[in-house]
């Protein structure tokens, strides 16, 4: 199965400050803030929602094709994609722009200060669904605002079933915008915080939204996930985890499993468990694209986690 994944490609530069921000940021002096943090530990991850989802879908044996805009600095990421067998056919390089990137500084209390530069992501609308053939399923994940709007419309016009997954892009849209996405999409996906925002902005509960699409999926971190399918509400358990190392990219890993199950016509009980296990595997590894497994390993862990065979 082939999935076209509309979303961002990004570099995540993560720096660790081996102290506490509160010891250096004085509340009464924030109006003249001028601080510098020594960060002896730093790592750079390949990320972005489209890249992460495609990586996870490919691990499962599907074909994820990121549709995104990148900058002139994309060469290291391109080499990584080639090494991992992730397609670059849907990428467009934007002259004079950097690839989207986040600079994240974390202190010993796990507080974070993040600066995000969208760069080439602002040109996401230049990619077109019609540029691709043989697509079975799609997803509109966080990206440039206009790109998300146009790609949803293009999926709908092409008759390609797709997941609307606004993620961090939720603040860019009001209730009317979000209802247009609902009317175009086949499925909706949120984390629990995004689900609450969706309810506030549209005035509709998750159950009511599920009456307008085939299903609504809400992930709840360590509490599992809930899938609403019209008259039914399925509670999907989490898979056991050996080491809680890094939650970055867990939602994208879940969505890779979601696309795999949907693309293979599985039932929701099975789809949810595949997605849940993908999130569990991801959280055990630093970075959003550094976990890996064989098909046999995944099937065995699935049986061990849920007591059924994949």
Domain for residue 31, yes or no?
Answer: no
146 located within any domain: yes
Q: How many domains does the chain have?
A: 1
CB 268 within 8 A of CB 234: yes
- Listed in sequence order, the residues at least 6 apart from 25 whose beta carbon sits closer than 8 Å to its beta carbon are 33, 35
Determine, yes or no, domain membership for 168. Answer: yes
Q: Which domain holds residue 65?
A: 2-21+39-306
Cβ count near 18 (within 10 Å): 11
Is 28 inside a domain boundary?
A: no
Three-state SS sequence of the chain: CEEEEECCCEEEEEEECCCCHHHCCCHHHHHHCCCCCCCCEEEEEEECHHHHHHHHHHHCCCEEEEEEEECCCCHHHHHHHHHHCCCCCCEEECCCCCCEEEEEEECCCCCEEEEEECHHHHHHHHCCHHHCCCCCEEEECCCCHHHHHHHHHHHHHHCCCEEECCHHHHHHCCHHHHHHHHHHCCEEEEEHHHHHHHHHHHCCCHHHHHCCCCEEEEECHHHCEEEEECCEEEEECCCCCCCCCCCCCHHHHHHHHHHHHHHCCCCHHHHHHHHHHHHHHHHCCCCCCCCCCCHHHHHHHHHHHHCCCC
| Backbone phi and psi for residue 110, each to the nearest 5 degrees, phi listed first | 65, 20
pLDDT at site 27: 82
Please indicate, yes or no, if residue 190 is contained in any of the structural domains.
yes
pTM of the shown model? 0.94
Examine residue 26 and state whether it is found in any structural domain, yes or no: no
- pLDDT for residue 1: 86
- Can you give the pLDDT of all 310 residues of the chain as single tens digits? 899 999 999 999 989 999 999 998 888 877 888 889 999 989 999 999 999 999 999 999 999 999 999 999 999 999 999 999 999 999 999 999 999 999 999 888 878 898 999 999 999 999 999 999 999 999 999 999 999 999 999 999 999 999 999 998 999 999 999 999 999 999 999 999 999 999 999 999 999 999 999 999 999 999 999 999 988 999 999 999 998 888 889 999 999 999 999 999 999 999 999 999 999 999 999 999 999 999 999 999 999 999 999 9
Non-local CB neighbours of 94 within 8 Å, separated by 6+ positions: 69, 70, 71, 72, 119, 120, 123, 126
Query: How high is the pLDDT of residue 25?
Result: 86
User: In terms of Cα–Cα distance, which of 280, 225, 290 is closest to 250?
Assistant: 280
**Is 61 inside a domain boundary?**
yes
Going by C-alpha positions, the residue among 281, 268, 252, 239 that lies closest to residue 86 is 252
Domain with 149 in it: what CATH number?
Answer: 3.40.1190.20
Whether 119 is covered by a domain: the verdict is: yes
Quote the CA–CA distance of 282 and 294 in Å, as a whole number: 14
Check residue 258 and give its pLDDT.
98
């Amino acid at each position: 199965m082939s999935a076209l994944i509309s979303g961002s490609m990004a570099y995540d530069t993560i720096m660790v400050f081996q102290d506490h921000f509160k010891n250096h940021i004085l509340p009464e002096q924030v109006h003249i803030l001028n601080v510098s943090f020594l960060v002896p530990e730093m790592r750079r991850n390949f990320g972005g929602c489209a890249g992460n989802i495609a990586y996870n879908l490919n691990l499962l044996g599907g074909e994820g094709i990121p549709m995104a805009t990148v900058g002139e600095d994309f060469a290291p990421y391109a080499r990584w994609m080639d090494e991992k067998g992730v397609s670059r056919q849907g990428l467009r390089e934007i002259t004079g722009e950097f690839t989207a990137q986040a600079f994240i500084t974390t202190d010993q209390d796990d507080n974070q200060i993040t600066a995000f530069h969208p760069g080439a992501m602002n040109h996401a609308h230049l990619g077109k669904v019609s540029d691709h053939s043989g697509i079975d399923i799609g997803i509109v994940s966080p990206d440039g605002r206009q790109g998300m709007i146009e790609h949803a419309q293009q999926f709908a016009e092409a008759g390609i079933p797709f997941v609307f997954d606004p993620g961090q892009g939720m603040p860019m849209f009001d209730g009317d915008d979000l209802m247009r996405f609902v009317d175009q999409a086949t499925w909706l996906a949120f984390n629990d915080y995004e689900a609450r925002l969706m309810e506030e902005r549209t005035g509709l509960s998750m159950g009511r939204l599920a009456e307008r699409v085939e299903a609504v999926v809400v992930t709840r971190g360590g509490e599992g996930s809930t899938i609403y399918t019209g008259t039914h509400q399925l509670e999907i358990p989490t898979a056991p985890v050996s080491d809680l190392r890094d939650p970055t990219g867990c939602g994208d890993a879940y969505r890779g499993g979601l696309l795999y199950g949907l693309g293979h016509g599985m039932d929701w009980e099975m789809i949810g468990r595949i997605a849940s296990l993908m999130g569990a595997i991801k959280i055990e590894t630093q970075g959003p694209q550094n976990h890996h497994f064989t098909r046999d390993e995944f099937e065995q862990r699935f049986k061990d986690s849920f007591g059924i065979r994949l």
